[in-house]
Structure 1
């Protein structure tokens, strides 16, 4: 009895799916932990480091905006051709660029040099995913995982990444505290030591990417062989049967008409949500608590470690809810409360109330991540996933790029609370829009299953009619 209950609990938490997953799936999850650990550490200090080397708050906001714009362009091309060039090679290239950007940040303090490193390398201003990594990894996970287990795998993939960011912020915060107070290092040297660590994690991620197998590469579409009896003779129109594609065009994915409509609607909604996120990126949120309430780096790291762990744990609950109520409803009704609490963070003048709203927000802010990934994997056809998910990342990154600059201007005028209020309001509009557009949407798998059930029912009814209308003489 106890064993059966324990097994049921493990199934609800998705641990059974994770345990039965492939080695490549586990390597992709470990990669995300390593990457987000590095992102968490760099995000905690990014604005403080720029300020320490003489950059104003407005220019810091511009720095993050330009970084996101540059990352958008690079990510677009990498994800567009990732399947043709090889997913493993693209992930390895991104990890190498990540390591290089950490080295540049550790050696230089010039604004434009750092900006170039942040754009061509991988530095996350928001603490969230940037670059080509997530689109490629989620597309690969969808390929490696049965549809019934995807929500569980995506939940653990997201949880592991969020936990990585949480530990990165906490470890970095207390390391800075130790270097500043025990080793008596100056501020700039301390922050540069963190970026050396960032480069080291980039190299670790490179090794993990190279360890992936060929099963991660895109599944080739099977082209049916032509019937030799019905094939036209050479010179009799055979060359016009199927137009040849250029080598460049053959690298581009074929997107179906139905997917284009879905992609357009999602791009509009994701753009709204991403712009709201850009108004309150993690770099600015950490700086807000340091600037307004005077929190030191160690306590700051512990605070955001706590909120990130809460957010990570909530993802498992979301996976269980999604199995019962569907991905879209789970996305909306868990994300909406976090939008409300985000709007309230900047209003209180006392630290306890601001921390309360921050913690309440963290309870549901990440519960939409796994259901959204599972929903996208279901509504987009397999050979389109990498390119379309890459497009979504490009749309989200480009839409969020203007936000940090706006927040920087508001921060310079002591109007931080306006950024939080606007961000929360826009996110609530996104949630309502998702519910209105996709609440009744059926995935291709659901349509196929419904068609199969209807065909079986029709065959049973036809067989019943034939049996009832048989020859009376035979009765």
Structure 2
């Protein structure tokens, strides 16, 4: 055990690792679950389009597959996030992980387009490497349940940081695995791709095991369920929903399976959702693939140089996330989100104006290095302004709307690029991101945080 004043302990506290440790075994399992899943997502996203090309599918089918897979993941994510608190968060994660195993097994064994499409739409396959499935909203809600206001941002930051690192490692490992398998006797390029999806199955099994090991502390505590656990996060929630006017618990048959969001929450979350959709739309307009395409068309960089630049950017983005937790403790959630995002937005706006490769790379590093530092604080902010019993549903709805907004962005960029006005997409995206930044600062800087948790803690003490 480190002495209270030791340098090691101060470093652990400053980095937020003490907060992760204090959150307990369940929080560690959730972080491990997502890191393992994002490793699999990163690995599969690298080879997915190549896999279809090796099977001889036309580009139109590949594009349709990507779109339908995204829509299927969004629909599944929304449906499960709306019922997770009633059906059981652990049970919902277990079900989603089982779908991941089934989808991975189909891709590891089958080559029929329609079978693969059905497995991807109904199951869980990440076509882009993003976490669009039914997991993230539930996991973030569980982490909010396991933490208090003082430690929540730190835990969520490490949840994001380790997942980002796992994605980068998965992408890097996938290419090496394919080459290693191809070098073995009897292995073709296509069978090597199948082998990568075998890893996807393994990741799904690990997710199932972790979900099965989670304790009841991860579940939302309804009134009348007996022992409530420790801290305000596990107090009875939505009394008006779970109890009648006499303070007695409502029969379970009268409870709705789908989560209900109060008008008060909609008033607070509505403007935030609009701003987040604006940010996601602008990110879609200048996605990493479109950004590298623009760099290639402007300066004709070698593919190896592009790969090195993007790899360095991903690594910088992962490492910079570590500082989001300490910064949030020092200046607050909203200030952290805005002050780290504004330079990133400016880098997007100025990106097409760079006259040389070094300056363009510098702007890209600023953009990606700071771009994700708002993710952990953003989840903590949503948890701080939303009723605990509504968190899972709200996070799921926000994730769905942000995904749809992001998917619409590339269409506008495609129209601009086709008219030889590719650079305008970056200027417009940067401007929209700045609208998001300053809108967030103006509208949410003085919003009262944690009022629902404080109210429930006070009621619990009076009881």
TM-score normalised by the shorter chain: which range applies? Answer: 0.7 to 0.9
2:231 counterpart residue number:
none
Residue 311 of structure 1 and its aligned partner are, at CA, apart by 1.5
Residue 459 of structure 1 is matched in structure 2 by: none
Separation (CA, whole Å) in 2 of partners of 1:348 and 1:119: 41
Shift of 1:109: 4.4
Q: Kindly indicate whether the alpha-carbon contact (under 8 Å) linking 1:166 and 1:306 is maintained by their aligned counterparts in 2.
A: no
Alpha-carbon distance, 1:341 to partner: 3.0
The answer to whether the 8 Å contact 2:89/2:218 transfers is yes
Q: How does 1:43-122 map to 2 (within 5 A)?
A: 43-54=45-56, 60-122=62-124
> For the Cα contact (< 8 Å) 2:90–2:212, is it kept in 1?
yes
The structural deviation recorded for 1:208 is 1.2
Whose radius of gyration is greater, 1 or 2? Answer: 1
- 8 Å Cα contact 2:413/2:422 also seen in 1: yes
For 2:196 and 2:286, the matched residues in 1 are separated by: 23
Aligned residue number for residue 334 of structure 1: 340
Q: Which moved more, 1:51-60 or 1:412-421?
A: 412-421
Gaps (5+ residues) in structure 1?
225-238, 453-475
From 175, 178, 190, the counterpart of 1:176? 178
- What secondary structure, in the 3-state scheme, does the structure 2 residue paired with 1:20 have? helix
| Alignment partners' CA distance in 1, 2:421 and 2:433 | 19
**Residues 331, 372 of structure 1: 8 Å contact kept:** yes
- Matched length: 434
Deviates more, 1:118-127 or 1:323-332: 118-127
CA distance in 2, matches of 1:446, 1:99: 38
Q: Which of 16, 23, 26 is matched with 1:24 structurally?
A: 26
- Residue 131 of structure 1 aligns to a residue whose secondary structure is coil
Q: Report the CA distance between 1:279 and its aligned residue.
A: 3.3
Q: Give the CA deviation at 1:40.
A: 1.2
Residue of structure 2 in register with 1:373 after alignment: 379
Paired residues of 2:223 and 2:249 also in contact (CA < 8 A): no
What are the Cα deviations for residues 231-279 of structure 1, in whole angstroms up to 9, with x where unaligned? xxxxxxxx99899889475223343322111121122112222222333
Aligned equivalent of 2:39, options 28, 37, 40: 37
TM superposition shift of 1:429: 2.6
Of 434, 439, 442, the residue aligned with 2:440 is 434
Note if contact 1:64-1:404 (Cα within 8 Å) is conserved in structure 2.
no
> Which position in structure 2 is the counterpart of 1:319?
325
TM-score, with normalisation over the residues of structure 1?
Answer: 0.79
d(CA) in 2 for partners of 1:397, 1:308: 20
RMSD: 3.6
Shift of 1:210: 1.1
Provide the C-alpha distance between the structure 2 equivalents of 1:103 and 1:442, rounded to a whole number of angstroms: 47
Cα gap change, 1:279 to 1:256, in 2 (>3 Å): same
Match of residue 138, structure 1, among 119, 137, 140: 140
Ranges in structure 2 where 5+ consecutive residues have no aligned partner: 227-243, 459-463
**1:79·1:135 contact (CA, 8 Å) conserved in 2?**
yes
Greater relative contact order (Cα 8 A, min sep 6): structure 1 or 2? 1
TM-score by length of 2: 0.81
Q: Secondary structure at the match of 2:150?
A: helix
